[in-house]
Amino acid sequence: MILTVTPNPALDCTWRVERLVPGDSHRVPTGAQRAGGKGINVARVLTGAGLDAFALTTAGGHSGEILAADLRAAGIPHRLIPVAAATRRSIAAVDDATGETTLLNEVGAALAADESAALFAGARTLATGADVTVISGSLPPGIDAGNVRALVADIAASGVTTIADVTGPALLAAAEAGAHVVKPNAVELRETTGSTGVVAGARMLRDRGAGLVVVSLGADGMLFVGGADPHAVLRARLPRRLRGNATGAGDAAVAAIAAVLAGRGTGASDLSHAELVELARAAVAWSASAVLMPLAGELSPEREQLATDVIFDTDIRDLT
């Protein structure tokens, strides 16, 4: 079983616009609402792929009720920690003319001390029955990097493979706590490490204790640093750019990584080159297939073909 922990879930609201003009008024078709937040997206992808996933998150207010109803309707196994504040919303406007998506993400309300304690206690309990635990997304007020550090350290020490897709101080804390995989994007990596070089920044996180560092590069693919060879660096990408909604593409990549490592039964720090290549192939293919879908948390039927199209670069001078 793959457990996903989402400290700051969202009710994802998506509208498609024929052409988005800032400052103008738009008439649009009825939008879509669904349970979101990075960890929930990961669980949705895994469940849709027929894998055993379980989502742990919070829910509050009317938006939390909609989130809970959607999880039930989607058949995603879950446990919700009730909280007093309403679940935040994430607004996505997809411009069909350009293929670009504009996001408005609410920060989220603070969790009370007993609410955050219940969330982390639930994570520790559920992780005992998991093969992989994924901790994903932003942190609401009331939860800080120290909480993430303690949770990652406890779960990793118990022998459960741990993946952290968090940002800022929490990303550094997860690496130092021994997360088997951390997955920032290039902007998050630069902001966290201060390094302008992607490879150098990834190696800094590896040196801090992460087993494998995976960096999302958008249309330029993904960078993988780590495995059995501490100096191994691999970039995987498609030979062409895809047009679509990139919201949730990183979550699909995390789902692929979790699926591969769950099947392997051990962490990511001792991956052979061949194993790293196959993990990278799956991550890029799942991420790309998510771009082709209208809503986050779904994979295109083309993902198997996309996997065969993935190419690997040895020349990474543009990333140093």
Closest CA to 37 of 8, 64, 59: 8
Q: Which of 24, 220, 251, 309 is catalytic?
A: 251
Q: Would you call 96 a catalytic residue per the annotation? A: no
Closest CA to 222 of 269, 167, 287, 164: 287
Token code pair at residue 83 = 């909280």
Neighbours of 318 (CB within 10 A): 11
**C-alpha to C-alpha distance for 75 and 48, rounded to whole angstroms:** 9
Closest CA to 53 of 24, 84, 74: 74
Q: Determine the residue type at 131.
A: D
CB 258 within 8 A of CB 42: yes
Q: Do β-strands 233-237 and 222-226 pair in parallel, antiparallel, or remain unpaired?
A: antiparallel
Would you mind telling me the total number of residues written for the chain in this entry?
320
CB 142 within 8 A of CB 113: yes
**Residues recognised as catalytic:** 251
